[in-house]
């Protein structure tokens, strides 16, 4: 909730729109809000952020910045690809003082699906608690679902997670957001 409130203020009140600058500012605000420099609190979060701009030629420009979370997409050859995230988090005191987020820009054709995720799905264990779902399995699943309507993709992913985890307790938040450009 703190992160969401700060994101809204950074974008809507401070009028910052560059994805790297948004996450740099969010980091500063989280450190200050939680008094992390003095309190010993080292809480942080990983996230990915995209700014999407529809171009006149039918293409779509995406600016991306990730705090330990990539964005996934299916390329024109049908292979699942990723834009890698920076290896730094939002918040926490273990980060180097001068560490800054970077921004990546890529142009897609309309109809491409982007997937932004938390790590909850890939870190979920099955009932025996010894095997995680894993990134490779999730990317294969997303590639197989990418041509379906978004609602069907959502229900198929829900089923997949339920079947995989059986009766195991959910370990973390599970978020997958698909965006068809």
Residue 73, pLDDT > 90, answer yes
* Residue 38, burial from CB neighbour count under 10 angstroms (0-12, 13-18, 19+): exposed
pLDDT average, residue stretch 85-97: 85
Which tens digit of pLDDT belongs to each residue from 48-67? 999 999 999 989 999 999 99
> Do residues 10 and 28 touch, judged by C-beta distance below 8 A?
no
Which tens digit of pLDDT belongs to each residue from 131-165? 889 999 999 999 999 999 999 999 999 999 989 88
Residue 96, pLDDT > 90, answer no
| 127 pLDDT tier (thresholds 50, 70, 90) | low
- Residue 16 tokens, joined: 């910052």
Sequence ranges of the domains in the chain: 1-110, 111-181
| 169 pLDDT tier (thresholds 50, 70, 90) | confident
Q: Which of 163, 178, 181 is nearest to 54 (CA)?
A: 181
Q: CB count, 10 Å around CB of 91?
A: 24
Mean of all residue pLDDT scores within the chain: 91
At 109 the pLDDT is 93
Going by C-beta distance under 8 Å and a sequence separation of 6 or more, which residues neighbour residue 59?
Answer: 107, 108, 109, 110
At 173 the pLDDT is 86
Distance, in Å, from the CA atom of 176 to the CA atom of 63, rounded to the nearest integer, reads 19
Which tens digit of pLDDT belongs to each residue from 5-25? 999 999 999 999 999 999 999
Answer whether 0.85 is exceeded by the pTM: yes
């Amino acid at each position: 909730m703190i992160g969401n409130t700060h994101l809204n203020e950074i974008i809507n009140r401070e009028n910052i729109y560059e994805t790297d600058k948004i996450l740099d500012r969010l980091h500063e605000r989280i450190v200050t809000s939680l008094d992390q420099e003095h309190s010993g609190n080292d809480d942080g979060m990983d996230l990915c952020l995209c700014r999407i701009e529809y171009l006149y030629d039918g293409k779509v420009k995406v600016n991306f910045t990730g705090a330990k979370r990539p964005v996934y997409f299916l390329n024109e050859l049908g292979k699942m690809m990723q834009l890698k995230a920076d290896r730094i988090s939002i918040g926490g005191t273990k980060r180097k003082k001068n560490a800054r987020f970077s921004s990546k820009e890529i142009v897609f054709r309309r109809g491409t699906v982007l997937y932004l995720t938390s790590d909850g799905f890939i870190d979920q264990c099955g009932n025996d608690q010894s095997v995680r779902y894993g990134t490779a399995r999730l990317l294969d699943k997303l590639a197989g679902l990418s041509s379906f309507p978004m609602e069907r993709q959502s229900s198929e992913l829900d089923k997949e997670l339920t079947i995989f985890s059986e009766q195991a307790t959910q370990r973390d938040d599970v978020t997958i957001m698909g965006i068809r450009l």
